[in-house]
Amino acid sequence: MIGGTGISLGRIALRNVTRNKARFVMTLLAVAVSVLIYMTLDSAKRSWDGAKEVSRQDRLVTRHKITFVLSLPKRYVARLANAKRADGSPLVESVTYAVWFGGREPNHEHEFFQSLAVDADTYFDVYDEVTLSEQALSDFQSNLDAAIIGQGLARKLGLKVGDRVTLESPIYPSSSASGGEPWSFRVAGIYGSRSRAVDTQSFLFRYERLNEALAGTSRDQVGWLVSRTPPGADPQETARAVDALYADADVQTLTQDERAFVSGFLGMVSTVLDVVTLLSLAILVIVLLVLANAMGLSVRERAREYASLKALGFGARDVMRLILLEGVFLSLIGVAIGAALSMCVIDLGVGRFFEENLTQFFPVFEVRPETLAGCAVLSLLLGVLAAAAPAWSAARAGVGVALKRVA
Amino acid sequence: MLAIKYNLRSLFVRRLTAFATLGGVALVTFVLAGALMLAAGAERAMASGGREDVAVVLRSGSDSELASSIDVQALGTLRAAPGVAAPGGEPSVSPELVSVVALPKSDGSGLSNLTVRGVAERAFALRPNLSIVSGRLPAPGTNEAIVGRKIVGNFHGLEVASDGSGGEVLLGKNRPVRVVGVFQAPGDSAESELWVDLDAARSALGRSGLASSVRVGLASGADLAEFRDAVEGDKRLGLDVQSEADFLESQASGLASFIRVLGSLVSVMFALAAMLGAAITMHGAVASRAREIGTLRALGFSRGKILSGFLLESCALTLGGALLGVGLALPLGWVEISMMNQASWSEVVFGFEPSLRVLLSALGLGAAMGLAGGVAPAVRAAWLRPLEALRA
């Protein structure tokens, strides 16, 4: 209450916020747009960090120690499957393998998807989050030209069960020009996924199909092994034990958990995330400047009113509080609108897009409570900071000078 | 036109709000200029050193050296192909084996991919811009290696001590190579590579009898078409030919356009907020100067003159911000960063490259923000009725 008049400072501040309609709307718009950008960046970062929680710690990937370009001998699969722990129990629960095919669909040149040659009998044991009908699985296991593709990819390429599709690969040219067979497959089934750790954008076909087309040193090679550690076993320790199996062989291995394996291909991501952090800071500074600008103008326009208030006996502190409150209100309203906007945009559109197309990196892309809480705190802080300089100068201004000043 | 001084001085009168807008615009142009400089830097570091009179031969369908593999039996055909330069009677043909190896980074951040290139002596003759900056060239046929100046010290073991004894890098089991020199090759991504002897690379990586790519020196750039027709025309070879300049550019373009598109997208969104900031400033400037504007109109200044005067004020504000932003971005020229290039799956190091294009783009964005943000307030100012404005 001010001097027992029955009007609270808060109400005056709220009225002041909306007094200049045009400026109010422009400020809200600028703050809302910035908050939308900020929340998208922040959600992307949290989604990337959060991928750890979703990924399977018990799934290990074993690759060539020196370079992922080189492959492992296929006999490594059996060796890992038969390996025992000291107590005689199996070292890993199940083992499968895959080869990166690097395929592209000529009619959809710009759609990127991963295409792998996999072992039909074991692949879906290791990736047990995959949902696939019995019929499709037995078709895949008994026919060499069969392929299993993810729901998301089927939608992108417009494929359904029974369709034929031809892939081209820069790594394994079909040499169809010189009479070789093109890489043609029949879609035997479409898989879904129960977990965010497995994406539905992959193209899987039989390893035998690839291997029989190869000759010489490239035959009987696999790209990497994937295994599952038994329940209760320490994944890191198991990974070391796996590498120890091949320590004396010609080709040594590097075993990592699933997520570390994927991240290895994305050294760029950490740089991009650093940039994202910097950009989030930059947009916050822009919000601050826009708010400070608006507050500076309102206080300047009302210099005479504040002087009148002081002349009526209000203290410098009252004036200061009034202006700070106005800044906080302005900031709160703008951030609230921006947050509502972001929740619509991210949860209904952008987030879904990231989840579907970049599942491995952004498994859950949504506005998290932490982001919202962060925004609430930031809006208070920004409001106070933006109003600080004008509030200070208005509180200090001499009554006589302020009353005479040019607006 | 109003006196320019009138509009410029009015910005100064409203220092605080003008400064806030200036700062916002500066930040936006800083982001844009930084992104464009980085993209230009990537292109310059990786692609500007390519030559027109050197052909790069890859396996047909491969878009990078990493995915390509050529049997040495094809070399005979390449040597005999038309257009190949033969200084001293020896055809200028250099098979090179390219791979990436995972090595521990020296800053302790774990493994990262390093490109390793196995080369024969001929490779040096085909790269006249390559020179040793410290240490010496490797002796052919040994396990000696040289490292590009951009990645010296980035990986464990990639350094040359002052006494000439170099660090050791394990390429395969019991296959160490010893770093004896540091080289530079301006405008070529080779500056982010480790170069070893071709045969040492083949045996360490288990790829005997293979090359990833073949570089061929041509008698002149005009011979490329003839050479290409001869090689690509022979379907049994299954090889593609392009000039080194085109090849290096294709390797850099993905990363450069990624940076450019992302940077432009972000700065355009930022610009929306900063433009609204400019609009708020100009709106306030017009509202508080209604009486002045009324006086000017009463004195006979036309609507057009008021309009252009306020637009000029708005542009001066944002252009000032843009200049400040570019000025702040220029010192980035001393910064170098390391990024993964998806085309080669390995790290390349490059810096921010200032250019006239960057300056013009940033100023263009600044002017656009000023015009877009200033147009509504300027129109409002121009259409104020003199009498009402004077009574305000």
pLDDT of residue B1: 55
Lowest-pLDDT range, A370-379, B145-154, B335-344? B335-344
Inspect the interface and report whether the beta carbons of A271 and B23 lie closer than 8 Å: no
Nearest residue, CB atoms, A289 vs list B277, B288, B339: B277
Nearest residue, CB atoms, B206 vs list A34, A70, A300: A70
Inspect the interface and report whether the beta carbons of A293 and B21 lie closer than 8 Å: yes
Cβ atoms within 10 Å of A308's Cβ, excluding its own: 14
pTM score, two decimals? Answer: 0.76
B339: DSSP letter: E
Inspect the interface and report whether the beta carbons of A67 and B99 lie closer than 8 Å: yes
Q: Number of A:B CB contacts under 8 A?
A: 160
How far is the C-alpha of A330 from the C-alpha of A387, rounded, in Å?
10
CA of B233 to nearest chain A CA: how many angstroms apart?
Answer: 12
Inspect the interface and report whether the beta carbons of B280 and A296 lie closer than 8 Å: no
| Cβ–Cβ < 8 Å for B363, B32 | no
User: What Å distances lie between residue A372 and A33, A47, A124, A328, B225, CA to CA?
Assistant: 15, 14, 39, 17, 61
Which residue in A has a C-alpha nearest to residue B238's C-alpha?
Answer: A175
How large is the angle between the packed helices B303-329 and B15-47, nearest 10 degrees?
A: 50
How far is the C-alpha of B254 from the C-alpha of B251, rounded, in Å?
7
Task: Choose from A19, A67, A224, A269 for mutation: most chain B CBs within 10 A.
Answer: A67
Task: Give 10-residue mean pLDDT values along chain A (407 residues).
Answer: 60 85 90 90 81 77 81 91 88 93 85 90 92 94 93 90 89 60 90 82 92 82 92 88 86 84 64 80 90 88 85 86 92 93 84 73 79 90 91 82 63
Inspect the interface and report whether the beta carbons of A279 and B272 lie closer than 8 Å: no
Q: In chain B, what residues touch A289 (CB-CB under 8 Å)? A: 20-21, 23-24, 27, 277
pLDDT of residue A1: 45
Nearest residue, CB atoms, A297 vs list B172, B206, B284: B284
CA of B93 to nearest chain A CA: how many angstroms apart?
Answer: 24
| Cβ–Cβ < 8 Å for B243, B226 | no
Which pair of tokens denotes residue B279? 């609009």
How far is the C-alpha of A363 from the C-alpha of A193, rounded, in Å?
12
Nearest residue, CB atoms, A289 vs list B20, B61, B279: B20
**Which contacts qualify for A310-318: CB closer than 8 Å, 24 or more apart?**
A310/A399, A310/A402, A311/A399, A311/A403, A313/A3, A314/A2, A314/A3, A316/A395, A316/A396, A317/A395, A318/A2, A318/A9
For residue range A290-303, list pLDDT tens digits in order: 899 889 888 888 88
pLDDT of residue A349: 77
Which pair of tokens denotes residue B375? 């147009």
Cross-strand bridge partners of residue B160: B166
The three-state (H, E, C) secondary structure of B102-133, written as one string? EEEECCCCCEEEEEEEEECCHHHHCCCCCEEE
Inspect the interface and report whether the beta carbons of A66 and B101 lie closer than 8 Å: yes
Cβ atoms within 10 Å of B82's Cβ, excluding its own: 12
Inspect the interface and report whether the beta carbons of A264 and B14 lie closer than 8 Å: no
Does the structure show a pLDDT above 80 at B42? Answer: yes
CA of A27 to nearest chain B CA: how many angstroms apart?
Answer: 7
Which residue in A has a C-alpha nearest to residue B29's C-alpha?
Answer: A282
Q: In chain B, what residues touch A286 (CB-CB under 8 Å)? A: 24, 27-28, 270, 273-274, 277
For residue range A358-372, list pLDDT tens digits in order: 766 677 788 888 888
The interface predicted TM-score (ipTM) is 0.74
CA of B217 to nearest chain A CA: how many angstroms apart?
Answer: 26
CA of B198 to nearest chain A CA: how many angstroms apart?
Answer: 17
